[in-house]
Amino acid sequence: MQTLNSLLQRGRELLTEAGITDATTDAWLLFEYVFCMSRCEFLLKRDEKADEEKTEKFLELAALRSTRIPVQHITGVQEFMGLEFLVNENVLIPRQDTEVLVEKVVEWAGNQGTEDISILDMCTGSGCIAISLAWFLKHAKVTGADISEKALETARKNAERNGVDCEFIRTDMFEKVSGKYDVIVSNPPYIRSRDIEDLMAEVKMHEPPAALDGGEDGLGFYRIIARDARKFLKDGGCLALEIGFDQAAEVTALLEESGYESIEIIKDLPGLDRVVFATKHWR
Ligand code: GLN
């Protein structure tokens, strides 16, 4: 039998040998999942002997992770904005980069002088954007839209899990959207079709292609949003879009053509262009 600490190190080695980039983080996530142990508890108990059954389970999951299954598909969850989201092969795994998009909308909403704000999250997937906005903006009315019924099933479970009220609608982009919103937010698929091939195995093999593929030039969904979102935005409302790090100029141009004003580019934590934020004041 080995100690908890030596077992965790063994897991890290196994993942490193398998070429897993975030071996240390992933070994810990699997360890936490199997042993139901916080970091603090682990530090106190690190020299204690590890339970045999759990040891076996942990090594089994490390072997599974070594085959490039995303760690989130093994543990079933991903943290986003301090909340926990269920994930599976039907939804994009929430990315930390997307948090800046949520933060920007929360900041904008805080300056509106009313808490009564309506928000549409287009391509909601796991619902991570819609649900965290509903969580932070307690009085907002939030709607999440997606073409995939299976994604919406997961989004509904996530809303319930996090104790927020969100409406979810199945629609191909704006087809079944009605009414007017103060905010339209979206993290649409934006990878160029030909670049999907070069993504990490975890993404390419296990995340839904429909959540990644932005068409030939990666801009397909931004074109639809630039053309259609304005019909559903209130005057003075805002449009907040996540973008690929090299898409700021092209997406800005699409929005300018559609008459959006005061277009702002916001960077993510690593310093890459990540969000295009625009307001609408049609005359
Ligand atoms: N809105 C979800 C997210 O940001 C899903 C996005 C998508 O499927 N492209 O994670």
The amino acid at 277: F
Same structural domain for residues 113 and 53? Answer: no
Residue pair 224/173 in contact by the 8 Å Cβ criterion = yes
The continuous run of DSSP H or E covering 278 comes out as strand 273-279
Question: Residue 283: is its pLDDT beyond 90?
Answer: no
Same structural domain for residues 44 and 136? Answer: no
What is the position in ligand 1's atom list of the atom closest to the CA of 101? 4
Cα separation, 231 vs 254, in Å, equals 16
Q: Give domain status of residue 76, yes or no.
A: no
**CATH number, residue 252:** 3.40.50.150
236: phi then psi, degrees, rounded to nearest 5: 85, 0
Question: Residue 176: is its pLDDT beyond 90?
Answer: yes
187 is in an annotated binding site: yes
Residue tagged 């030039």 (tokens): 217
Domain that holds residue 26: 4-67
Q: Give domain status of residue 171, yes or no.
A: yes
What is the position in ligand 1's atom list of the atom closest to the CA of 92? 8
Cα separation, 128 vs 162, in Å, equals 10
| Boundary-marking domain end, from 32, 67, 102 | 67
Residue nearest to atom 8 of ligand 1 (CA): 211
Q: What is the DSSP code (8-state) at residue 180?
A: -
Same structural domain for residues 35 and 121? Answer: no
Q: What is the DSSP code (8-state) at residue 243?
A: -
Same structural domain for residues 234 and 192? Answer: yes
Same structural domain for residues 204 and 139? Answer: yes
What is the position in ligand 1's atom list of the atom closest to the CA of 242? 4
Q: Quick: pLDDT tens for 234-250.
A: 999 999 999 999 999 99
Q: Is 115 helix (H, G, I), strand (E, B) or coil?
A: coil
- Where does the pLDDT of residue 113 fall: very low under 50, low under 70, confident under 90, or very high at 90 and above? confident
* pTM greater than the 0.90 cutoff: yes
Q: Where are the alpha helices (DSSP H) in 52-127?
A: 52-66, 71-75, 99-110
Distance between Cα 200 and ligand 1 center (Å):
18
Query: How many separate domains does the chain show?
Result: 2
Same structural domain for residues 51 and 154? Answer: no
Q: Give domain status of residue 82, yes or no.
A: no
208 is in an annotated binding site: no
162 is in an annotated binding site: no
Prediction ipTM score: 0.94
Same structural domain for residues 21 and 109? Answer: no
Q: Give domain status of residue 81, yes or no.
A: no
Q: Is 236 helix (H, G, I), strand (E, B) or coil?
A: strand
Distance between Cα 44 and ligand 1 center (Å):
38
Same structural domain for residues 120 and 218? Answer: yes
What is the per-residue pLDDT for 124? 98
Same structural domain for residues 187 and 241? Answer: yes
Same structural domain for residues 96 and 19? Answer: no
**Which of the listed residues 98, 119, 241, 274 should we mutate to test ligand 1's pocket, taking the one with most ligand atoms within 8 A of CB?**
98
146 is in an annotated binding site: yes
| Boundary-marking domain end, from 67, 99, 121 | 67
Q: Give domain status of residue 220, yes or no.
A: yes
Distance between Cα 3 and ligand 1 center (Å):
40
Q: Quick: pLDDT tens for 61-88.
A: 999 999 999 999 999 999 999 999 999 9
Q: Give domain status of residue 135, yes or no.
A: yes
Cα separation, 231 vs 240, in Å, equals 15
Residue tagged 């959006």 (tokens): 260
Pocket of ligand 1 (CB under 6 A): 92, 94, 98, 123-126, 128-129, 187-189, 211
Question: Residue 282: is its pLDDT beyond 90?
Answer: no
Instruction: Calculate the alpha carbon distances from 96 to 99, 101, 161, 207 in Å.
Output: 5, 10, 20, 16
Q: Give domain status of residue 80, yes or no.
A: no
**Which of the listed residues 83, 104, 122, 128 should we mutate to test ligand 1's pocket, taking the one with most ligand atoms within 8 A of CB?**
128
Instruction: Please state the rounded mean pLDDT for residues 186-193.
Output: 98
Q: Where are the alpha helices (DSSP H) in 111-219?
A: 128-136, 149-161, 201-206
Q: Give domain status of residue 78, yes or no.
A: no
**248 C-beta neighbours (distance < 10 Å), count:** 19
What is the position in ligand 1's atom list of the atom closest to the CA of 125? 5
Same structural domain for residues 61 and 92? Answer: no
What is the position in ligand 1's atom list of the atom closest to the CA of 91? 8
Cα separation, 78 vs 204, in Å, equals 18
Same structural domain for residues 55 and 114? Answer: no
